[in-house]
Amino acid sequence: MKIFFMLLAVALFISCRPRDSNTIVAKSTETINCKNSMDGIEFEPKKTYKNVTEVIGNSIWVEKQGQKFSLALHFQYKDTLLVSESPGCWLKFPYKQEGNKLVVFWNNQVDTKYDPDIVEAVYNADEKYLGKPFMILELVNDTTFSATYPIEQLVKEINNSNKKKVYFPARFNLVQDGEMYD
């Protein structure tokens, strides 16, 4: 009798799970958010930005380089840019908005669980760069940042620390919801 009630409880638990009727799981295990309509399914529009003020909040930007990616720029906080090399390696840079540009200042704050090439390059960077503008981001279009680097030598040293990828490229593209970038 106990077994019967245990099986009944498991069956009820499984059948009563809440399901999101607005989510379709594709064969590639990628989740597609959509809305039901009288005419069928409408897919949510791509995220886009008209100016840099809109970027600040919750957006991620990368450049795909074959099978690898540049550093990922995470705009989650006002005045602080979090940059990830991987889920276990984060750099932190202050920035300020100047018109429709974001000026990022050099900092050597790293939070990491291991030591990839970039960590050594950041720690070995000349201290004279601390607090100086090293990256300027400007929206080229609604999903692309153009990056310029006033301290070319610093960025060259960091980019040369890894022969397989460029950490700081000339462009960063907006990561759309559901896209993978690691």
Domain ranges of the chain: 2-43, 52-174
Give how far the C-alpha of residue 36 lies from the chain's centroid of Cα atoms, to the nearest Å: 29
pTM of this prediction exceeds 0.75: no
- Rounded to whole angstroms, how far apart are CA atoms 127 and 75? 25
Rg of the chain over Cα atoms, rounded to whole angstroms, equals 22
- Rounded to whole angstroms, how far apart are CA atoms 47 and 143? 8
Give yes or no for a contact between 167 and 159, defined as CB atoms under 8 angstroms apart.
Answer: yes
- Whether 124 shows a pLDDT value over 80: the answer reads yes
* Mean of pLDDT over the chain: 78
- Whether 85 shows a pLDDT value over 90: the answer reads no
pLDDT in tens, 151-168: 999 999 999 998 888 999
Closest CA to 71 of 57, 91, 52: 91
Give yes or no for a contact between 112 and 119, defined as CB atoms under 8 angstroms apart.
Answer: yes
- Rounded to whole angstroms, how far apart are CA atoms 58 and 75? 6
Mean pLDDT throughout 104-110? Answer: 94
Closest CA to 107 of 89, 120, 95: 95
Which CATH architecture best describes the domain 52-174? Beta Barrel (2.40)
pLDDT in tens, 127-137: 999 999 999 99
Give yes or no for a contact between 154 and 129, defined as CB atoms under 8 angstroms apart.
Answer: yes
pLDDT in tens, 44-54: 567 788 877 87
- Rounded to whole angstroms, how far apart are CA atoms 86 and 93? 16
pLDDT for 45 equals 62
Question: Locate tokens 């009820």: which residue?
Answer: 12
> Cα dist. 75→6, 55, 58, 93, 174 in Å?
48, 7, 6, 11, 11
Give yes or no for a contact between 142 and 49, defined as CB atoms under 8 angstroms apart.
Answer: yes
pLDDT for 135 equals 97
